A = this chain, B = another copy of it.
Amino acid sequence: MAPVSDSRPLQITALAGGVGGARFLRGLLAHLRSAEDPARRDARVTVVVNTADDVTLHGLRISPDLDSVMYTLGGGIDEARGWGRAQESYGVAGELAAHGEGPSWFTLGDKDIATHVIRTRMLAEGATLSEVTARLCERWQPGARLLPMTDDRVETHVDLADGPGGATRRVHFQEWWVRLHAAVPAVRIEAVGAAASRPAPGVLEALREADVVVLPPSNPVVSIGTVLQVPGIRDALVAAPAPVVGVSPVVAGAPVRGMADACLSAIGVPTTAAAVAGLYDDFLDGWLIAEEDEPPRRPGLVVRRRPLLMSSPRATADLAGAALDLALELDRKEPAA
């Protein structure tokens, strides 16, 4: 662990899902690049990205979270939606629809499709998802190293209770999330393939060698939660010498963004900042919550209250800075412990 006084660049490792994580990470990079302390200004950030949202549509392999992080950090994101490419066109999608090729509920813009075409081609030629991601990032220059959580195929599937006669039916996470807006209650969420998956190259090292580990306010079940299901990653977090600091994705009983409440319900966890911290109990050192929320009661966990809404680039950078401040504060304490 780097004492804050020396100027060796910090090694920061984050876990992340899609839109919320991407936005937080952009704030983190903005905070770092404008920092006075050279250890922060030159910090190297590695992001371990959830891939359990990945889906194959029209034969194209799509990695929504990797793409959201890459587009957001690389300056290509559609700001209004928070996902997909800015200034998109829909020539391909219009034609697919004209052919009756579903699904129509997953929006695929032309620029976005180019990403999927490259990914699909490279995977078919035997490249790993890590290699594909590195190739795509050559263009996007996201300012952080993006690693898929695994190169193995993991896909979150959801059991819904709206089948005939109350039977459950299983759908891909994207169908539940995008098509059904998570409005149909999920009785089970399973990251299929997670148990047999291996962390992608560099993931365990990035956790082991980090000075700081950050959990953005990503979905604790289907984003951070699925990353933690890759065997070895949770253990690496528990064993990491660096402080692990997280930002609550829940404010006043509701997700800051997205539909995390529907996911928490499915695993029987209340939608509170304290309950989410409980999911990270075995490795969490610091936790940022909103003013109005109850802190988790766990000895040794340091909790700070901060404005959690990422309402502007400035607010987001400040939030990321606060997470980093807390981590470095914990880090300084450690030698005395």
Binding site for B on A (CB under 8 A): 58-60, 88-89, 91-96, 98-101, 109-111, 113-115, 117-118, 120-121, 124-125, 135-136, 138-139
Contact A91 B118, CB 8 Å, known A59-B124, A99-B136, A99-B139? no
Q: Is the CB of A110 within 8 A of B92?
A: yes
Q: Is the CB of B139 within 8 A of A110?
A: no
| Chain A at the B interface: SS class | helix
Q: Is the CB of A91 within 8 A of B94?
A: no
- The count of identical subunits is 2
Q: Is the CB of A99 within 8 A of B114?
A: yes
Closest 8 CB pairs of A and B: A91-B110, A59-B121, A95-B114, A89-B91, A95-B111, A92-B114, A92-B110, A110-B110
Contact A58 B117, CB 8 Å, known A89-B89, A89-B91, A91-B88? yes
Contact A111 B99, CB 8 Å, known A89-B89, A121-B58, A121-B59? no
Of the candidates B91, B99, B120, B121, which one forms a contact with A91 in the assembled complex, judged by CB atoms under 8 Å apart? B91
Minimum CB distance partner of A96 in chain B: B114
Q: A98 to chain B: which residues have CB within 8 Å? A: 114, 139
Q: A110 to chain B: which residues have CB within 8 Å? A: 89, 91-92, 95, 110
- A120, B101: Cα distance in complex, Å: 13
- A110, B117: Cα distance in complex, Å: 12
Closest Cβ of chain B to A146, distance in Å, is: 15
- A281, B285: Cα distance in complex, Å: 86
Q: A139 to chain B: which residues have CB within 8 Å? A: 98-100
Q: A93 to chain B: which residues have CB within 8 Å? A: 114
- A92, B135: Cα distance in complex, Å: 17
Q: A60 to chain B: which residues have CB within 8 Å? A: 117
Closest Cβ of chain B to A204, distance in Å, is: 29
Closest Cβ of chain B to A111, distance in Å, is: 5
Minimum CB distance partner of A91 in chain B: B110
Instruction: Give 13 A-B pairs besides A89-B110, A92-B110, A94-B111 with Cβ atoms closer than 8 angstroms.
Output: A58-B118, A59-B117, A59-B124, A59-B125, A89-B89, A91-B114, A92-B92, A92-B114, A93-B114, A94-B114, A95-B114, A96-B117, A100-B138
Interface centre among A58, A59, A89, A115 (most CB of B within 10 A): A59
Minimum CB distance partner of A98 in chain B: B139
- A43, B68: Cα distance in complex, Å: 54
